[in-house]
A and B are shown apart, each in its own frame.
Chain A
C-alpha cells in the first residue's frame, strides 16, 4: 500500500469523521466541565439538528450549508429550553440524577424525530459525489467544508473563551464554580451560554454527519460513545483536547482495520481510552479530573 492510498482511504475518512466527533465532543466537554455531568442526550440532540436542517433543505430547496446556521440556532434554542424545563431544577441534586434525566431526554427527542420524520434513511442530496483529485489527494467539497467548519469553530471558540468577558466567565465557572459565584458571575447566563454553544455545535455535528453519510433516526445515539471517548481522551474541559480526542478516535477507528478484524472497529476508541486512562488519567491535554 502506498502513501496516497493510506492518505485517501484511511487517514482522510478518519479525519473527516474525527471532525464530526470533535464538534460533538466540544459540547460534551463544555457541559462536563461547567455543569459537571455527562449529557447522554447529546447524540440524539445532534440527530435533531440534522433533521431540522433536512426540513429546511426540503422545505425551501436551499443547500444544506445554508440550512446549517438555522438548524444550529434552532437546536441551540431547544437545548436551552430542555435545560430550563428538565435539568435546571435538578441542579442542587446529585449529578447522577441529571445524567438519568438526560437519558430520558434522549428517548424523548428520538421519539419526536421518529414521529415527525419517520425512520427511513434520508439524505440532503440525492445521488453520489465522486471526489475531486488534487495531485493524487482525493477529496470532496463536503469533506473540505466539514474540516474547514471545524477549524473555524475551534479558532472562534478559543478566541471567545480566551478574550471575551463571557468566555472568561465560562472558564471561571469551569475552574472553580464557588469562586466564580463569589466574584459576581451570573451563573444562569453562563449556563444559557453553555447550552447555546453546545447545542449549536451539536447540531453542526449532526448536519455534517448527515452530509457525509445519511440521516437516520438513530445516527446520533450511535455516535455518543465515540464522542465521550474523544472528550475524556483529550482532557475534560479542554476545547482543543476535544478536537484532538475526536481526531484521534476517528483516525484510529479507520486505521484499526489494518491490524484488527474489522468487526472490532468500534472497540478501537475504547481500547485507546483505557490505555490513556491508565497512563495519563487527566487526558492528553491535562483536563480536570472529576
Chain B
C-alpha cells in the first residue's frame, strides 16, 4: 500500500469525522446542555442537506431548484432552514419530557424522510439531487480533499468555540440548572420553555449545517443518507460514548466511533476469502461489541462532563 493511499484514507476519515462532529456538537447542545432527548437528528440533517442542495445545484426539470448559489449561501441557508423547521417542532414537542420527546422527534424525522422520498417537485423524490457544488471540487483528488478538510475543520473548530463559550457563559449555567432542577430554575424566574427552545434551535441549526457539508462533499444527496441508523443512532452513540455535556467529548466520540465503524471493515477483511460476505456481518457484531465494552468500562463517556461545584444528581432526568 502506498503512503499516498493512507493519506487519502486519513483525509477522508477526517472529513467524515468532521461532519459527524458537527452533528454530535449539535446534539450536545440539546442533550448535554439542555437535557432534550432529540432522536430525530436525521430530520434536521436532511433538511439542511436538501436545502443547500436545492440552493446550489443547477436547474433540473420537474423540481424546485436551479439557483446555483455559491456554497456558503447554500450552507447558511441550510442552517436557517433547519432552525426554522426546528422552531415549530420545538414549540409543540418540547413540552414532552425525555423519552416522549424522543419518540415524537423520531416520528417527525420519519415524516420528513417520507416527504423527501415522495415529493418529486420539492426534492426529486427517491432519485435525490446530484451535481451539487463542492468547494474546491475542481482541484486534483488529494488537494481537493485536503482543501475540503480545511473548510470542515474550520467549521468544527468555530462550532466548538461558540458552543464552548455558550456553555461557560451564564447561559450554560442556566441551562444546566434547568436540566438538573427544573423546579428550582422556574422558581428563580427563568423562562424555561423559551430557553429550551433556544437550545433546540441552535442544535438543529448545527445539524442542518452538517447535512449541507455532507451533501457538498458527496456532490449529491439521496434519501438513503437519512436512514435513522446512520444519521440518528450513530450520532447518539458518539455523544454518549464521548461524554455528553462535554464538547471535547462530543468530538472525541465522533472520532472513536467513526474509526471503529470504518476500520473494523479492514479488520474483518482478514477472514478467509470464502467468508468475505459473512465478514461484513461479523463487522456489525464487532461494532456492537465494542460499544458494549466501552459502555461497560467508561459508562460516563470517555470525557465526562466537568461540573464545577456540586455534582448533579445522577440519573434524575431519565427517571
CB distance from A215 to the nearest CB of B (A): 16
Which chain A residues (182-214) contact chain B, with CB distance < 8 Å?
Answer: none
Are B284 and A281 interface neighbours, CB within 8 A? no
Contacts of A126 in B (CB 8 A): none
A151: interface (CB < 8 Å): no
Contact between B291 and A101 (Cβ–Cβ < 8 Å)?
yes
Q: How far is the CA of A114 from the CA of B288 in the complex (A)?
A: 14
Measured CA separation A180–B134 after assembly (Å): 60
Q: A interface, by DSSP: helix, strand, loop or mixed?
A: helix
Task: Tell yes or no: A290 within 8 A of B by CB.
Answer: yes
**Judging by beta carbons under 8 Å apart, are B315 and A95 in contact?**
yes
> Is A166 in contact with chain B by the CB < 8 A criterion?
no
| Interface presence of B194 (CB below 8 A) | no
Q: Is A278 an interface residue (CB 8 A)?
A: yes
Q: Which of B52-60, B62-70, B108-116, B154-162 contacts A (4 or more CB under 8 A)?
A: B108-116
Interface string of B277-319 (1 = CB under 8 A from A): 0100111110111011001100110000000000000110111
B21 is an interface residue with CB less than 8 A from chain A: no
Report if A232-B295 is in contact (Cβ < 8 Å); known contacts: A104-B287, A115-B281: no
Residue of B nearest to A261 (CB): B118
CA of A108 to CA of B293 in the docked complex: distance in angstroms?
A: 13
Is the C-beta of A257 less than 8 angstroms from some C-beta in chain B? no
- Which B residues are in CB contact (< 8 Å) with A112? 285
**Chain A residues with a Cβ closer than 8 Å to the other chain, count:** 46
Let me know if A266 is at the binding interface, CB within 8 A. yes
29 interchain pairs, CB-CB under 8 A: A36-B319, A38-B99, A92-B314, A93-B299, A93-B300, A94-B314, A94-B315, A97-B240, A100-B240, A101-B292, A103-B233, A104-B289, A105-B288, A107-B284, A107-B287, A107-B288, A108-B284, A108-B285, A108-B292, A111-B281, A111-B284, A112-B285, A115-B278, A232-B100, A266-B110, A270-B107, A271-B111, A273-B103, A290-B98
Interface residues of B (CB under 8 A from A): 31, 37, 92-93, 95-100, 102-104, 106-108, 110-111, 114, 117-118, 233, 236-237, 240-241, 244, 278, 281-285, 287-289, 291-292, 295-296, 299-300, 314-315, 317-319
* A residues lining the B interface (CB < 8 Å): 32, 36-38, 40, 86, 89-90, 92-97, 100-101, 103-108, 110-112, 114-115, 225, 228-229, 232, 261, 263-264, 266-267, 269-271, 273-274, 277-278, 281, 289-290
Known: A37-B318, A107-B291, A264-B118. 17 other contacts (CB 8 A): A38-B99, A38-B102, A89-B296, A93-B300, A96-B240, A103-B236, A104-B289, A106-B288, A110-B284, A111-B283, A114-B278, A225-B107, A225-B110, A267-B107, A270-B106, A270-B108, A290-B99
